[in-house]
Structure 1
Amino acid sequence: MKMADEPIVVGIDIGTTKVCTLVARVEGGSSFRILGVGIEPSQGIRKGTIVDLQAASQAIARSIEKAERTSGMEITSALVSLAGSHVSSVNSRGVVGIAGRVIDQEDVFRALDAAQAVAIPHNREIIHVIQRGFVVDGQDGIRMPVGMHGYRLEVEAHIITAAASTVENLRQCVQASGVEVVQFVLNPLASAEVVLSDTERQMGVVVCDIGGGTTDMAIYIDGDIWHTMVLGIGGNHITSDIAHGLRLPLSQAEEIKKLYGHAVQSDIPENETFSTRIFGEERPVEISRRDLAMIIEARVEEIFDLILQEIKRSGYDGLLPAGVVLTGGSSLLPGIRTLASQVMGLPVRIAKPENLLGLTDQLNSPAYSTSVGLLSWAMMMSETPAAAGKRSRKKGGSSEFGDWFKSFLKRLLP
């Protein structure tokens, strides 16, 4: 959508706990103003995947309708977030011959196509193909090879895939509201657009988006994405532990977590209590905050243990001087930064979207990093015309991202 020559971008963040639709106008080519916000509790979604098609479609439709009403615009297309343990990634290398001439953008496109020639099962769909760097005649560390002379061009690419059926179910839910999915964007990649600094990306950093049903992480080194992973654990597991440990309904456990929760038991005075009504009791009972913190600390520690294991499994644990950047709704839990630093032995900070314009009252929170990050991705896509005639070869998926990625590369060319 365009208005007064300024593109209108739309992002739909479909999470386990909420669906957030944002409409924004790109201003000055580098910032955007929030025009419409539609936030609706999620239904029919568990750990980032659709478990009830009708309920999920209705929740998404309500979110889109709210955003249309506040912005005064009709939404016809959008970028949509993607998460879930079905997401996986692999690093690949593509090689093409140049025959001793100057490298042009077509050679870059051919190298990226070659990098996608990996064994992808028929039930998987390629979501992202992200270049990590180029090698020309054995010389590595090249950011953009166009204009260089060479005989052999190699590209190192990070390929992210997802279960095709899960992606199609999500697409079907969005299309039921009359909205076309322009591109799916992995949650931590969207969040990274608004919470990471260029210095952190260059030095080496992990962004962890801890949501309700999943913990999404991405490792950035030398300014590029090196590893991605989605863990099927999040804030809802903490809530479930509280509900079981204190014998409470889930809705009440969630409220208590937000009001009295803390991730470090030793930080809570022994005499602090709160009153609530539990199963089997006719009157409210007094519960120690330290007991509540003990339940929370055990689960949060497990989450960071799993994150640390994944960092070590990637092999990049020694290349992260910038440490960990936490975002997502569960990062709002008091004491979580301290516990994360203790468990992982890395510097930790909590980040949220900043420098927003327009309807931003609810969005200045880590819970909306992915939502705002989708707008940043959409803004990048709106800055260039479509790469007409450029089709990426896919192994079991659509070529939408291939078209945009080539278009995005053109924007980087001198």
Structure 2
Amino acid sequence: MSIRGENILLGVSGGIAAYKAPDLVRRLRDAGATVRVVLTHGAQAFVTPLTFQAVSHQPVHTDLLDADAEAGMGHLELARWADRIVIAPASADTIARLAAGLADDLLTTLCLATRAPLTLCPAMNHIMWQAPVTQQNTRQLIERGATVLGPMSGPLAEGESGPGRLMEPADIVTALEQSAAPSTRPSPLAGQSVLITAGPTHEPIDPVRFIGNRSSGRMGFAIAAAAANVGARVCLISGPSRLPTPAGVERVDVETAEQMYQAVLDRAPQAAVFIAAAAVADYRVEARAMHKIKRDNQPDQLSLVPNPDILKAVAGLTDGPLTVGFAAETDDVLDNAHDKLTAKGIDMIAANAVGEGKGFEVADNALTVLWPGGHRELGHKAKTQLAAELIDLVGERFHAAD
């Protein structure tokens, strides 16, 4: 997949991450795209039009009410010229104005006047990104068809740390290439039934409390989207998650590990591939309280019993699907993953470190995939990119097993 020959309109909004945008222009051009740049007034406080003119070899656009441009309806011409619009960085303000449908500057007007797909690369303070209104605005744009890449987690300009960093330009280009027109070479998974689990499970203690974990479901949802993109017939069984269902994916919502187990075992015999990306609780409360436990009557301890092992059960099916597990570990990641691969009798396992800002509730990850007799490092990337690479690798192993 390639963006060679595409016309890409790059919108740059205000924020310190705008300093990375000239590098993004250069990398887009190196990948074969023609790039034109639109700067908001906020962006011009950090970067200059002359910089982008030098790296894009194209005029830079800044004003909606430009007398010369308006004589030829320049903003509509740009909207029609673009094969896709990418906004990097996309500030909280820009995301909010796009969600509201405003058209009060050149960039928002172009987004409203085009039929080209929109990709947003958010960058902002982590508290701004996690604010409910920003999350709501972002979800609205996704529901309308926008793609969101990032933000990444890590140190921020103000000295704090968290999810809010602009995805690295090289990773943005790779993600755009992954979403471009598919290769003429069909994936081995095209037309195959792929069953995927995602998100956490919630194990009730009483009607208001539960045992859970920090999984957001992002990795599993990204894998489902990547599988659908290569033509697979995808069923996604999700624990509690607010993420939107990827296009072309059948979704089944569950809450507990036992519900997920039943949903998976009902469908696994008909699947060609099973990818267990969910963070399933290992234990549940033995006796769930039917009424809220009052503080004065709280037990000294909770009695727990093991949940069913979904991955091992699927791996044990006669003529079952190719099984892919995940090993989310805080230490000895590869050793623990290798032990899990062997103990569960599965075909592949994707190992990743979690904790201290890694793995859960972030937009990036790093994976090492192991299988009997081999392994591959997928490295540290956006989860969307990792998902596409993982699906390609699963396709390779599926084809090899044929």
TM-score normalised to the size of structure 2? Answer: 0.25
TM-score normalised to the size of structure 1? Answer: 0.24
